[in-house]
Chain A
Amino acid sequence: MRDAFVRALMSEAERRPELMLITGDLGFGVLRPFWERFPEKFINAGIAEQSMAGVAAGLAMTGRKVIIYSIGNFPTLRCLEQIRNDCAYPEAEVKVVCVGGGFVYGPLGMSHHATEDMGILRTLPGITLFTPGDPAETEAVVPEMLRCHGTCYLRLGRGGEPLVHGAPLRDWHVPSALTLRTGRDTAILSAGGILTQTREAAEILAEKGVGAEVVSFPCLKPLDRGRILELARRFPRLYTVEEHTVIGGLGSAVCEVVAEEGLPCRVIRLGIPDVYAREVGTQQYLRGVFGFDAAGIAGRVEKEEREAGRR
């Protein structure tokens, strides 16, 4: 996703003189093609995220679109108030980009687990929040983010994720959810890089005779309410999967929509329970610990569907 992001950004930078990219001293390997091609559009703000966000707001007030880039919680939680007061409130053209959403930096420890960002950023008025699930979705959301007015947050995974979509996404627009496979029994809704696991889980379930629809939400705010309601009317149970606390992110957002509409649909949220991950391990290991790697997702869905069938 990182490389898809930089590719898409460079293609936008060619035709957008107002674009600038500020990094908080991170992304050497990832951003290098950008700064070599557009040295005049590139700033390294040093290890000073609060100032980076404030400077971005000031630059945006002189007519520029400014990307601020860092990893984990550094471009979000570290400078949350600057994003709220200096960027979102004045509707400044600042696009916050995080690499490493979820457990990407798993072995580095809890400081580097970006596992509450979606919930926290979603509560800020005026922010458009992008959670692409694979490189194809990333390439689709970047130009859309630069068309969006005001402050945005883009949560990326890592480098080297496989393509989940078979072909580039043409004409994707906020807030469309994307169906990756259809299913007759239930639906699994996914936001962010956990999409690979969600789709693999659906394949495991298919072998066990459970037909699960897979729907990706590359945009968490605004939310594709229409799609959620349509799924909640078709299925008695919906599953949400996110590499994030179950509080505040996709699962919460889906619950809000379903409950507000008063639909008789149960929402089962898969993600990190209300704890910090103390375990040490790779992204895939930690996904397994919290039960949302492909096997974990498939096991949970199968169990819930079987128990519901018995009732």
Chain B
Amino acid sequence: MEEYRDGKSYTQLIHESLGEEYPDTGDPRVLAWLIRRHGVEMTHISRGSHIGSILSVAEIIAVLYACELRTRPGDPAWPERDRLILSKGHAGAAVYAALAERGFFPVEELRQHYGNGSRLSGHVSHHGVPGIEVSTGSLGHGLSIGTGMAYGARLSGEAWRTYVVLGDGECDEGMVWEAALQARQWELASLTAIIDHNGMQSLDECERTLKLEPLHEKWASFGWHVQRVNGHDTEALKRALGSARAEKRLPSVIIADTVKGRGISFMENNILWHYRTPQGEEYEAACRELEANRP
């Protein structure tokens, strides 16, 4: 593999900072740590943005890929696979990292994120990337597409499930609520939405922008099965996903309370880190903090 730094390949560098040559990515805490570490590295190299969202959504994506989704990394188009749509496409690095670590494509490729000629655009793109179902980036679209997919699966009598990960700020978009009506109308119990509820959007706190609370009650009044959990507690997320699977009539939404920038003290709850990229001292400090908090 090509040298990345200090005589090591990109993959070696990340895995050595975890202290595991072959990490157990079936452990969601390990996978979440790797998502964070890749997120820092990928946004550092590319000077790409959205590290705050990558860090807040890490456990959600990790639990999905480590524990919940039925997929075959060697056969990404396996017809019976569960479908995941990252509707908050700006956290694409988190999904790319999870896919690579779970074997959909080489981990080494993550260093090309945002790069000229690479296939890993800042917002997720399905073009040529194994495991990505839908290209997103404009907020609000994913839940409708997921609704169509879940309905299509039911019409065909297929058992696979559909998962859509949204941002809380994304719930400003009217289209989210159009989809909420439609999924309830069809009683799509095979559809699970997970909201990365980090309380912040691009410019400010959600509540200071457009009041989403009481978010639980909003979804409940739209007729969904609603759960609210700590979005950094992998066991709680697993239980909630299990409960969504057990729901036989209603579509489910899991409001996952998270912290934007979670895991790196100076990024936590700091709006600056929606767009800022870790460079210089800040990059070094971010790596040190992660290494001090290995799973």
Residues on A close to B: CB < 8 A? 40, 45-46, 48, 50-51, 53-64, 81-82, 85-86, 89-90
Residues in B whose Cβ lies below 8 Å from that of A58: 144-152
Beyond the given pairs A50-B175, A58-B151, 19 more chain A to chain B contacts, judged by CB atoms under 8 angstroms and listed by A's residue number, are A48-B181, A51-B178, A54-B147, A54-B148, A55-B144, A57-B144, A57-B145, A61-B133, A61-B134, A61-B145, A62-B148, A62-B149, A62-B152, A63-B152, A81-B138, A82-B141, A85-B136, A85-B138, A90-B126
Question: Known contacts being A58-B152, A61-B133, A63-B156, is A51 close to B138, with CB within 8 Å?
Answer: no
- B253 contacts the other chain (Cβ, under 8 Å)? no
* Interface residues as binary, B141-167 with A (CB distance below 8 Å gives 1, 0 otherwise): 101111111111101100000000000
CB distance from A123 to the nearest CB of B (A): 17
Q: Are A54 and B152 in contact (CB under 8 A)?
A: no
Q: Are B175 and A61 in contact (CB under 8 A)?
A: no
- Per the bound structure, the CA–CA distance linking A238 and B159 in Å amounts to 58
Residues in A whose Cβ lies below 8 Å from that of B270: none
CB distance from A98 to the nearest CB of B (A): 20
Q: Are B152 and A48 in contact (CB under 8 A)?
A: no
- Per the bound structure, the CA–CA distance linking A257 and B4 in Å amounts to 50
User: Smallest CB-CB separation from A85: which chain B residue?
Assistant: B138
- Contact residues on B (Cβ < 8 Å of other chain), bracket: 20 to 34
Give 9 nearest A-B pairs by CB, closest first.
A58-B148, A54-B144, A62-B152, A51-B178, A55-B148, A48-B178, A58-B149, A58-B145, A59-B148
User: Smallest CB-CB separation from B162: which chain A residue?
Assistant: A58
Q: Are A59 and B175 in contact (CB under 8 A)?
A: no
Of the residues B126, B134, B151, B153, contact of A55 by C-beta under 8 Å: B151
Residues in A whose Cβ lies below 8 Å from that of B155: 40, 62
Of the residues A50, A56, A61, A81, contact of B178 by C-beta under 8 Å: A50
Q: Are B145 and A55 in contact (CB under 8 A)?
A: yes
Is chain B's binding surface mostly helix, strand, loop or mixed? helix
- B112 contacts the other chain (Cβ, under 8 Å)? no
Is chain A's binding surface mostly helix, strand, loop or mixed? helix
Q: Are A55 and B156 in contact (CB under 8 A)?
A: no
Give 14 pairs: A residue, B residue, CB < 8 Å, sorted on A.
A46-B181, A46-B182, A50-B175, A51-B178, A51-B179, A56-B148, A58-B145, A59-B152, A62-B149, A63-B156, A82-B141, A86-B144, A89-B135, A90-B134
- B106 contacts the other chain (Cβ, under 8 Å)? no
CB distance from A217 to the nearest CB of B (A): 32
Residues in A whose Cβ lies below 8 Å from that of B153: 62
Central interface residue in A45, A50, A55, A86, by most chain B CB within 10 Å: A55
Residues in A whose Cβ lies below 8 Å from that of B179: 51, 54-55
User: Smallest CB-CB separation from A94: which chain B residue?
Assistant: B148
Residues in A whose Cβ lies below 8 Å from that of B19: none
Residues on B close to A: CB < 8 A? 126, 133-138, 140-141, 143-153, 155-156, 174-175, 178-179, 181-182, 185
Residues in A whose Cβ lies below 8 Å from that of B146: 58
Residues in B whose Cβ lies below 8 Å from that of A46: 178, 181-182, 185
Residues in B whose Cβ lies below 8 Å from that of A51: 144, 147, 175, 178-179, 181-182
Central interface residue in A56, A62, A82, by most chain B CB within 10 Å: A62
- Per the bound structure, the CA–CA distance linking A48 and B182 in Å amounts to 9
- Per the bound structure, the CA–CA distance linking A51 and B175 in Å amounts to 6
Of the residues A45, A63, A86, contact of B145 by C-beta under 8 Å: A86
Q: Are A90 and B144 in contact (CB under 8 A)?
A: no
- Per the bound structure, the CA–CA distance linking A147 and B144 in Å amounts to 26
- Per the bound structure, the CA–CA distance linking A45 and B186 in Å amounts to 11
Central interface residue in B144, B152, B156, B182, by most chain A CB within 10 Å: B144
Residues in A whose Cβ lies below 8 Å from that of B126: 90
Residues in B whose Cβ lies below 8 Å from that of A61: 133-134, 145, 148-149, 152
- Per the bound structure, the CA–CA distance linking A187 and B136 in Å amounts to 46
Question: Known contacts being A48-B181, A85-B141, is A90 close to B148, with CB within 8 Å?
Answer: no
Question: Known contacts being A54-B175, A61-B145, A86-B141, is A45 close to B182, with CB within 8 Å?
Answer: yes
User: Smallest CB-CB separation from A41: which chain B residue?
Assistant: B155
CB distance from B184 to the nearest CB of A (A): 12
- Per the bound structure, the CA–CA distance linking A55 and B153 in Å amounts to 12
CB distance from B172 to the nearest CB of A (A): 14
- Per the bound structure, the CA–CA distance linking A51 and B182 in Å amounts to 8
Residues in A whose Cβ lies below 8 Å from that of B135: 85, 89-90
Central interface residue in B138, B141, B148, B156, by most chain A CB within 10 Å: B148
- Per the bound structure, the CA–CA distance linking A182 and B178 in Å amounts to 51
Residues in B whose Cβ lies below 8 Å from that of A45: 182
- Per the bound structure, the CA–CA distance linking A279 and B271 in Å amounts to 50
